[in-house]
């Protein structure tokens, strides 16, 4: 009996000591927070076509209002120049050259842990609503999601998405939010309506060019032409949609569509425009259509935010608004997105979360899409395992947000491999170098004097170009600064 009492006393003493040590070394702030996580990503949305990023047209009333109550990163860069590599980078916090997923024939490695997988491991219900064919589950984008609503797998045709996406998405999302109740969740929403072809529904298709009377049909009439092609040749239905749009944008007859299919399918006429440096006949009008599509998305986003408010979710949810890449309108001789210039690499990044230090904050420090995942973990106070820490090539933006630190300057890399382009870029301070891996040619821009990257000054500053190229190739070989 006496021995048992002493054993109990000794055990109690050790227990108290352990608790004391724990109290001394565990910071109270490290307790995990049960915030919901929402990422809304608008495919092909360039930052400079939003009012909150300085655009003159009223494309983004709701997005701008959201930004005024959130934190906006003025200089966010995508690591992939198009959909597939960019979203893999977003969900793994790795560069395209690291994860190696560059086409729909690639698969995300099982060694790369996805954001949804990790959050699911912490008890999150994980759901996605995705539209772009590039985020197909066959590649592995559905890994970690309890439900992955990929619209091309749910009896909706591609043209249905372009016409009726708001009906499909909002109804399902509202139902999902109501079903969640008090359960914590990760919701990913990926919308394609801003992506080429730019076919906003009425009245958005005439919103920014109301007096247009040129050769481009309205969205409704475009689909009449398109359905006519489908009836004449079923093979044209999916493959011709984008080529048809650009043929009509260039004032060409729709009958030419069969000449621009071949092995390249829907992007063949865009390739033709790029290869021949052709500025399309209806250039200004297609930009108006693009802006109309943004405004349509903006109204969707506004309704979505109201739904979060109605369900009392905003005060316990991290909301991140971004894009996978931008879009080009002949600034450098091409359309859609190919290459490494600012109109493609500069993306919106707006973050709102409970307890953030200030609303309406604008941060000029460079940010990367690969920073999103570590930022989420930091806000949630999640201590992920060493393998995930080693995997992540981005860094948390929380120190910049909460301490307003500019932090040490870091190189920003971006990579592109679409439409025959194979370019990599490095940005360091005011300098940006773009290197063509196929031709070996490089371009150098002084971003302070030339933010639109119109004047290549590589001949004027060969030493700066040489240093940046050396750092870029060091990164490519796996020796660069990946944080």
pLDDT in 10s for each residue of the chain, 483 residues: 444 455 544 444 444 433 333 332 233 346 779 999 999 999 999 999 999 999 999 999 999 999 999 999 999 999 988 888 999 999 999 999 888 887 777 888 889 999 999 999 999 999 999 888 778 888 889 999 999 988 755 554 545 545 555 555 788 888 888 888 889 999 999 998 899 889 999 999 999 999 999 989 998 888 888 877 777 666 565 556 778 888 889 998 877 777 765 434 445 777 778 778 889 899 999 999 999 999 999 999 999 999 999 889 999 999 999 999 999 999 998 888 877 899 999 999 999 999 988 888 999 999 999 999 999 999 999 988 899 999 999 999 999 998 866 555 689 999 887 655 688 999 999 999 999 988 899 999 999 999 999 999 999 999 999 999 999 999 888 744 445
Phi, psi of 196 (to 5 degrees): -60, 140
Phi, psi of 427 (to 5 degrees): -120, 130
Question: What pLDDT is stored for residue 295 in this prediction?
Answer: 97
Question: What pLDDT is stored for residue 122 in this prediction?
Answer: 94
Strand 346-347 to strand 317-322: parallel, antiparallel, or no bridges (unpaired)?
A: unpaired
The single-letter DSSP state of residue 370 is: G
Domain chopping of the chain, boundaries: 34-199+290-403, 215-275, 422-476
Q: Which residues make Cβ contacts (< 8 Å) with residue 400, sequence separation at least 6?
A: 363, 365, 367, 406, 407
Distances from the Cα of 47 to the Cαs of 96, 205, 267, 345, 388, in angstroms? 21, 20, 24, 9, 30
Judge if 34-199+290-403 and 422-476 fold alike in CATH terms.
no
- So what's the architecture of 422-476 in CATH? 2-Layer Sandwich (3.30)
Comparing CA positions, the residue from 61, 33, 117 lying closest to residue 317 is 33
Which pTM was predicted?
0.88
Question: What pLDDT is stored for residue 240 in this prediction?
Answer: 67
Say if CB 472 and CB 433 are below 8 A apart.
yes
Query: Domain 34-199+290-403: which topology?
Result: Alkaline Phosphatase, subunit A (3.40.720)
Helix (H, G, I), strand (E, B) or coil at 459: coil
Neighbours of 186 (CB within 10 A): 24
Say if CB 359 and CB 319 are below 8 A apart.
no
Residue 227: left (phi > 0), alpha (psi -120 to 50), or beta?
A: alpha
Which ranges of 250-282 would DSSP assign to H, the alpha helix?
A: 268-275
Strand 335-336 to strand 147-150: parallel, antiparallel, or no bridges (unpaired)?
A: unpaired
Q: How many residues does the chain have?
A: 483
Omega before residue 197 within 30° of 0, cis: yes
């Amino acid at each position: 009996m006496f021995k048992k009492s002493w054993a109990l006393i000794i055990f109690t003493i050790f227990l108290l000591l352990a608790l004391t040590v724990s109290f001394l070394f565990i910071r109270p702030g490290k307790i995990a927070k049960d915030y919901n996580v929402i990422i809304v990503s608008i495919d092909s949305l360039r930052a400079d076509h939003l009012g909150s990023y300085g655009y003159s047209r009223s494309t983004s009333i709701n997005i701008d209002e959201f930004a005024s109550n959130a934190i906006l990163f003025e200089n966010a860069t995508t690591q992939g120049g198009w959909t597939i590599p960019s979203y893999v980078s977003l969900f793994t916090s790795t560069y395209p050259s690291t994860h190696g997923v560059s086409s729909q024939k690639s698969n995300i490695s099982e060694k790369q842990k996805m954001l949804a997988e990790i959050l699911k491991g912490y008890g999150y219900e994980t759901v996605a609503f995705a539209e772009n064919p590039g985020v197909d589950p066959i590649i592995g984008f559905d890994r970690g999601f309890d439900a992955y609503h990929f619209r091309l797998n749910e009896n909706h045709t591609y043209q249905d998405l372009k016409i009726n996406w708001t009906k499909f998405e909002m109804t399902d999302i509202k139902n999902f939010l109501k079903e969640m109740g008090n359960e914590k969740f990760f919701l990913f929403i990926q919308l394609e309506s801003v992506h080429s072809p730019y076919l906003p529904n009425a009245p958005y298709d005439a919103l920014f060019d109301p007096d247009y009377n040129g050769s481009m049909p309205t969205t409704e009439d475009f689909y009449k032409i398109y359905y006519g092609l489908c009836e004449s040749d079923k093979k044209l239905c999916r493959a011709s949609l984008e080529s048809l749009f650009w043929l009509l944008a260039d004032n060409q007859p729709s009958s030419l569509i069969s000449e621009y299919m071949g092995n390249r399918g829907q992007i063949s006429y865009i390739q033709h425009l790029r290869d021949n440096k052709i500025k399309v006949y209806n250039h200004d009008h297609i930009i108006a259509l693009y802006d109309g599509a943004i405004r349509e998305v903006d109204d969707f986003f506004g309704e979505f935010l109201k739904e979060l408010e109605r369900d009392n979710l905003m005060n316990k949810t991290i909301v991140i608004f971004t894009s996978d890449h931008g879009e080009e309108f002949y600034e450098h001789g091409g359309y859609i997105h190919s290459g490494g210039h600012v109109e493609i690499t500069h993306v919106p990044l707006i973050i709102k979360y409970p307890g953030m230090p200030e609303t309406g904050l604008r941060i000029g420090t460079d940010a990367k899409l690969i920073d999103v995942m570590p930022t989420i973990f930091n806000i949630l106070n999640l201590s992920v395992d060493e393998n995930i820490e080693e995997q992540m090539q981005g860094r948390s933006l929380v120190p910049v947000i909460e301490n307003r630190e500019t932090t040490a300057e870091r190189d920003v890399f971006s990579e592109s491999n679409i439409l025959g382009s194979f370019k990599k870029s490095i940005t360091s301070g005011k300098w940006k170098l773009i290197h063509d891996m196929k031709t070996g040619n490089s371009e150098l821009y002084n971003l302070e004097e030339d933010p639109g990257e119109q004047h290549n000054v590589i001949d004027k500053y060969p030493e700066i170009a040489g240093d940046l190229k050396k750092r870029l190739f060091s990164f490519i070989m796996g020796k660069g600064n990946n944080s």
